[in-house]
């Protein structure tokens, strides 16, 4: 830790693993699957209590309304939990945003609900790495930064946003993310890094779509020519969309719902698909292609199609300001003796939405771990205090130098 000043050493000295681990275990014991309203309310309450140790006011923000197309092709309101927001020193000249999510991919009835130790350092449990450990790291890093007894005292302003719907695409928190990201010099998001300290760089965008197809039913034997087959049209559209795939653009027709008994020409089908464009140019091209394909297939099959959805995670490109932020974090990690490497990834997260606001974002500031979104999810416990130190040091240096490398 030779690159640290005396003041920085004092800043980091009080960070301990035990309280961070205790928060991680406490929060991982609460099921907070994105659809579990009770669990999310309980999590929000615990988080509000814990984060109220920081200066500023914790509030819970109501989710924006979200609709999803149901099995009958009708848009239905989807309930969401509230999102936690904490604002500290909003008047500060330099402000950052720290984000995380309280939801997990494990539903209330999922068999994976409890933690156990695989070895002295490996904690196996739901949401440990993704990202209750990350939330605990964020809190400990902020607390250390606030305690910093330097000559200047902490001056950086920040907002903390912990949303309740990240795992399903942050549809009910997207307006809040945009609102809070505005005017910030940098963003830190507490998704997990890989066990070797590998951090995510660029990410593609992602959009989920549903096309509702209305045809006309008819008897399969008596008058099939009078029918307009909605399943056939949905299949035709799926093939055309799949043909749009190329380097930098993946398209996954995932499911066709609807249909009718074998003796009937089906008058309803719903095609669900996901699209991941690497750049905003590809996203715009693909969006235009989808519209054109919907129009062509509607005409060819004489059916009505309604297109729902959009690219809700814009592609995350790397700007010079992003490079500068990565430089600050790399240098801090090196000064702390923490291994760190960088890699583009195919996954998406709130970092996509923040980057789209023009704010440089590092979105794998959380704990080290792996096998996320699976019953094998694990967290490396020694990364908890290491990453809290990294957070405190990065905040301290952003406070003094902004995002320009020191
Ligand atoms: Zn996550």
Q: Comparing C-alpha atoms, which of 83, 84, 89, 189 is closest to residue 145? A: 89
Distance from residue 377's CA to the centre of ligand 1 (Å): 12
Distance from residue 200's CA to the centre of ligand 1 (Å): 13
Evaluate if residue 235 carries a pLDDT over 70: yes
Question: What digits encode the pLDDT tens for the residues 37-52?
Answer: 999 999 999 999 999 9
Q: Write out the residue limits of the CATH 3.30.70.360 domain(s) in the chain.
A: 206-313
Question: What digits encode the pLDDT tens for the residues 170-196?
Answer: 999 999 999 999 999 999 999 999 988
pLDDT confidence of 213, banded at 50, 70, 90? very high
Q: For domain 206-313, give the CATH number.
A: 3.30.70.360
Query: Do the Cβ atoms of 121 and 382 come closer than 8 Å?
Result: yes
Q: For domain 6-68+78-203+316-401, give the CATH number.
A: 3.40.630.10
Distance from residue 135's CA to the centre of ligand 1 (Å): 10
pLDDT number for residue 149 = 64
Distance from residue 32's CA to the centre of ligand 1 (Å): 12
- Render 75-123 in DSSP notation, one character per residue: EEE-----EEEEEE-TT-SSEEEEEEE--BS--TT-S----EEEETTEE
pLDDT confidence of 148, banded at 50, 70, 90? confident
Paired sense of beta strands 361-362 and 186-189, if any: parallel
Own/partner long-range contacts of 54-57 (Cβ < 8 Å, ≥24 apart): 54/86, 54/88, 54/139, 54/142, 54/143, 54/146, 54/160, 55/88, 55/89, 55/146, 56/86, 56/87, 56/88, 56/89, 57/86, 57/87
- The separation between the first and the last C-alpha atoms of the chain, rounded to the nearest angstrom, is 17
pLDDT number for residue 401 = 86
With tokens 């729902």, the residue in question is 308
Evaluate if residue 262 carries a pLDDT over 70: yes
Q: Write out the residue limits of the CATH 3.40.630.10 domain(s) in the chain.
A: 6-68+78-203+316-401
Distance from residue 362's CA to the centre of ligand 1 (Å): 13
Distance from residue 298's CA to the centre of ligand 1 (Å): 38
- Taking the whole predicted model, whether its pTM rises above 0.85 is answered as yes
Distance from residue 131's CA to the centre of ligand 1 (Å): 5
Distance from residue 349's CA to the centre of ligand 1 (Å): 7
pLDDT number for residue 406 = 43
Query: Do the Cβ atoms of 19 and 140 come closer than 8 Å?
Result: yes
Query: Do the Cβ atoms of 394 and 327 come closer than 8 Å?
Result: no
Query: Do the Cβ atoms of 265 and 216 come closer than 8 Å?
Result: yes
- To the nearest 10°, report the CA torsion of 168, 128, 44, 39: 70
Distance from residue 2's CA to the centre of ligand 1 (Å): 33
Distance from residue 132's CA to the centre of ligand 1 (Å): 9
Distance from residue 306's CA to the centre of ligand 1 (Å): 31
């Amino acid at each position: 830790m030779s690159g640290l000043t005396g003041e920085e050493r004092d800043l980091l000295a009080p960070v301990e693993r035990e309280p961070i681990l205790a928060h991680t275990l406490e929060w991982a014991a609460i099921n907070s699957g994105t659809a579990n309203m009770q669990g999310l309310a309980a999590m929000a309450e615990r988080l509000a209590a814990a984060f109220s140790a920081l200066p500023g006011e914790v509030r819970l923000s109501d989710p924006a309304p979200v609709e999803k197309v149901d099995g009958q092709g009708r848009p239905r309101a989807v309930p969401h939990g509230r999102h936690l927001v904490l604002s500290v020193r909003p008047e500060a000249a330099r402000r950052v945003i720290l984000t995380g999510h309280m939801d997990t991919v494990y539903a209330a009835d999922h068999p994976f609900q409890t933690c156990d130790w695989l070895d002295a350092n490996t904690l196996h449990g739901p949401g440990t790495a993704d990202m209750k450990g990350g939330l605990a790291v964020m809190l400990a890093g902020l607390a250390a930064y606030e305690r910093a007894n330097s000559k200047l005292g902490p001056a950086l302003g920040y907002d903390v946003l912990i949303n309740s719907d990240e795992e399903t695409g942050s549809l009910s928190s997207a307006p809040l993310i945009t609102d809070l990201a505005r005017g910030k010099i940098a963003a830190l998001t507490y998704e997990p890094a890989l066990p070797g300290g590998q951090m995510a760089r660029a990410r593609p965008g992602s959009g989920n779509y549903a096309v509702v197809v209305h045809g006309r039913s008819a008897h399969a034997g008596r008058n099939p020519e009078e029918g307009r087959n909605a399943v056939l049209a949905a299949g035709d559209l799926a093939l055309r969309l799949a043909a749009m795939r190329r380097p930098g653009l993946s398209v996954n027709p995932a499911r066709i719902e609807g249909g009718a008994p074998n003796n009937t020409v089906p008058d309803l089908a719903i095609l669900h698909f996901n699209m991941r464009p690497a750049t905003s140019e590809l996203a715009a091209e693909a969006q235009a292609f989808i519209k054109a394909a919907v129009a062509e297939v509607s005409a060819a099959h004489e059916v009505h199609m309604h297109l729902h959805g959009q690219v809700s995670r814009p592609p995350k490109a790397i700007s010079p300001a992003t490079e500068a932020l990565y430089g600050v974090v790399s240098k801090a990690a090196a000064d702390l003796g923490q291994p760190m490497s960088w890699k583009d990834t195919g996954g998406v997260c709130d970092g996509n939405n923040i980057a789209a606001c023009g704010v440089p974002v590092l979105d794998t500031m959380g704990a080290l771990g792996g096998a996320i979104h699976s019953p094998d999810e694990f967290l490396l416990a020694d990364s908890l205090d290491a990453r809290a130190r990294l957070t405190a040091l990065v905040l301290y240096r952003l406070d003094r130098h902004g995002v320009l490398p020191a």
